[in-house]
Every structure is written in C-alpha cells, then in structure tokens.
Chain A
C-alpha cells in the first residue's frame, strides 16, 4: 500500500497535489455545512412535534376537565329539576354559565405565549 502510494505520489505534480488538497478541504467544509443544515432541520422537526404534542396534551386535558365539571353540573341540574328546587337549578345554571364563559381559545393564546417565552410549563 505504502509502496503504491509512493509510486502514485511520484507521478503527481506538486500543483496537482495542492489542487487535490484544496478540493478535499472544500469537500470537508461543504460536508460540515450540509450536516449543519440537516441538524437544523432535525431540530425544527423535533420542535414542531414536541410543541404540537404539548398543545394536544394540554387541550385534551383541558376539555376533559371541562367535560367532567359540566357533567357534575348536569347531575345537580337534573336533581334540581326532578325535585323542582329553583335554587338548585339556578346554582347549576350559573355554574354552567361560568364554565362556558372561559374560552379555551384564551388558554391556547396563553399557552402559545408561554411556549414562545420559554417558560416551564407543567401539565
């Protein structure tokens, strides 16, 4: 192998050798640039995945909680209607009004702001 390389080197002019070395350096630099772009893409892909997973988790939980509270109010309301208890009916209706008055879009906005600010978010 060394012998072959020695023979090859003896056939290459110094100028050619310099050209080859420069080409190899360009290749190395280009490869580094490509790997940087690839890394950036992978980071972006992972960030998108994580962010939307977080959104989905947060809103699945948010709507599940709302549904649970709403169902509890429905039970109270049914009881009030069955017993014709106006105060119980009123309490349940007002409670339902308060739940639906809180827009989940506002939560989305707050979550998006928190994500952009880099705050630690606990779910």
Chain B
C-alpha cells in the first residue's frame, strides 16, 4: 500500500496510467484466452457432429447399393432412364462421394485445429512480449513493491537498466537531480507523463493487434458453428431420406416379388419364354423408386464444406 502510494507520488500518477493501460491490455488477452477455450470446445462438438454424419453416410452406402438388386433386371431401354439418373456403379460412386466429403471435412477440421493452435501460439507470443513498461528483470512495474518499486521506477526514469541499455537506477536518480534545478515538480510530472504516454501508446498498439487476433478467432468460431450445424442438419435430413428410401425399397420389392422366391422363379420363366422380366406398370413403379433413390443419393452426396466456401477459405 505504502509502496503503491510511493510509486504514484514518485511518478506523479503516471505509473497509475500505465497500470490502467496494462489492465486494458490484460483484459483483451483474457478475452482472447476465453475465445481460445471456446474454439477448442466448438472443435470437439463439430468433430462429433462430423463423425456422426460420416458414420451415417457409411451406413447409407450399402442401402443405396440395394438399387442394383432391382435395376439389374431392367431391359436396356428401361435402364436408359436408370443409367441417366443413377450412376452405373452406385457403390463405388457413393464411396468416392463420401471420400470427397471426408477429404475436405478433414482438411477443414485440420485447418481449424491448425488455426486454433496458431492463434494460441500467437496469443502466447503477445503475452510474452508484454514487456513494455516492465522493469528490466521482466517483472511488471505494477507487480513490484517497496524498494524494488522505487529502484525500478528510478531505472524507468533513466531509460531502463544498464543491462537493457538505459542509464539504470543511478541514471534515473541523476535525471531527477538534474531537473531539480528547474521548476522541478512541473518538469518531473511532464516527463513522467510523457513516458507514461509512450508506454500507454505502445500498450494500445499491442492491444489493437490482440483485437485483430480476436477478430480471427471469432470468425473461426462462426465457421465451426456453421460446420457443426451443417453436419447436424445433413445428418438429420440424410437419416430421414434414408428411412423413406428404405421404405420405398421394401414397398417396391414387395410389389415385384410378392411371393418371394416363387415370384422370382415365375419371372425367370417369363424371361425364358421371351417375355419381359417386369410388366409395364411394374417398370413404371420401379422407375418411381429409382427417382427416390436418386434423390437419396443426392442428399448422401452433399458435403459439409464446399470447396469454394470452406472453413479454410473463410480464414484466408
């Protein structure tokens, strides 16, 4: 308390102004630390949502492949429609589509991790660089007390310690002595506040840099939030469309193979005698089912991250 009072008296209140600037700077750093923690939390959530989506997509691939069990019996003319709307080899195409989803997703997630780490490292550097207005020992002026505070304050007047290229405590004392001849109080106060202004200005600049980092981190959080919500949305829609697709598959199967193996045997016999495997109304129904399969495959093909609007790109 006494040391604090002494420091304020010796520096004519300038130390207090520097401390205020340090306080504002530290508030910004604390905000950045909070954001960093939020980013880590959001990464975990987004990762879970993405993993859930990927697992569902993997499960959907064999479902989509069921189309083959019906489409393989369609004639070339009837398959023309099939070929147009469903890839010739649905499973491999779907796997490739999933890979094309996983690739950018992992890339974006990796980028998100990298960016968070970068921001973290950058924040660490700023915290270490917070040496403006500190005693040459690296201890913040505000953190010193008693004689140490007085020495540090005197060294501050002398432009820092001898080791740091300043005049040291003796230099500070000499400055004080030399200016004592003129209207001492006014000049000392002026000098103290000039130095304080200089330190405050540097702190303010560092604070501005920290704010820019906060802007980047906020943007990262927005991107992660979108990725998370997008993954959840796709999971929900894919699960629902899968349910509808499977139901349509069961209905179609029941319609064309009403009596199970007997129906299949009868159809083979029809084919053996040169007739169509499926009747015209059945083909029409199958084509309706295939349209549902196409719609399902389109949902399955959706990516969380678009290459032109990916999380990675948001950060560049």
Give chain A nearest CB distance to B186 CB in angstroms: 6
Name the B residues within 8 Å of A93 (CB-CB).
241, 244-245, 292, 295-296, 299
Name the B residues within 8 Å of A37 (CB-CB).
201, 204-205, 208
Is B234 interfacial (CB 8 A cutoff)? yes
Chain A 15-37 per-residue mask, 1 if CB under 8 angstroms from chain B, else 0:
01001100110110011011001
Total residue contacts A-B, CB cutoff 8 A: 157
Question: Do B236 and A70 have beta carbons less than 8 Å apart?
Answer: yes
Is A61 interfacial (CB 8 A cutoff)? no
Q: How many residues of A contact B (CB 8 A)?
A: 54
> What CA separation (Å) do A93 and B291 show in the bound complex?
9
Question: Do A86 and B240 have beta carbons less than 8 Å apart?
Answer: no
> What CA separation (Å) do A94 and B241 show in the bound complex?
10
Give chain A nearest CB distance to B1 CB in angstroms: 28
Name the A residues within 8 Å of B311 (CB-CB).
105
Give chain A nearest CB distance to B198 CB in angstroms: 7
Is B200 interfacial (CB 8 A cutoff)? yes
Which of under 10, 10 to 19, 20 to 34, or 35 or more describes the interface residues of B? Answer: 35 or more
Question: Do A59 and B222 have beta carbons less than 8 Å apart?
Answer: yes
> What CA separation (Å) do A119 and B292 show in the bound complex?
42
Question: Do A109 and B292 have beta carbons less than 8 Å apart?
Answer: no
Question: Do A100 and B233 have beta carbons less than 8 Å apart?
Answer: yes
Is A87 interfacial (CB 8 A cutoff)? yes
> What CA separation (Å) do A56 and B310 show in the bound complex?
17
Question: Do A105 and B309 have beta carbons less than 8 Å apart?
Answer: yes
Question: Do B241 and A109 have beta carbons less than 8 Å apart?
Answer: no
- Cross-chain contact of B201 among A33, A52, A81, A104 (Cβ < 8 A): A33
- Closest chain B residue, CB of each to CB of A11: B183
- Closest chain A residue, CB of each to CB of B207: A41
Asked if A86 meets B190 with Cβ closer than 8 Å, knowing A48-B211, A100-B237, the reply is no
Chain B 170-214 per-residue mask, 1 if CB under 8 angstroms from chain A, else 0:
000000000000110011001101100110110011011001101
The 3 tightest CB contacts between A and B, nearest first, are A105-B309, A93-B295, A30-B197
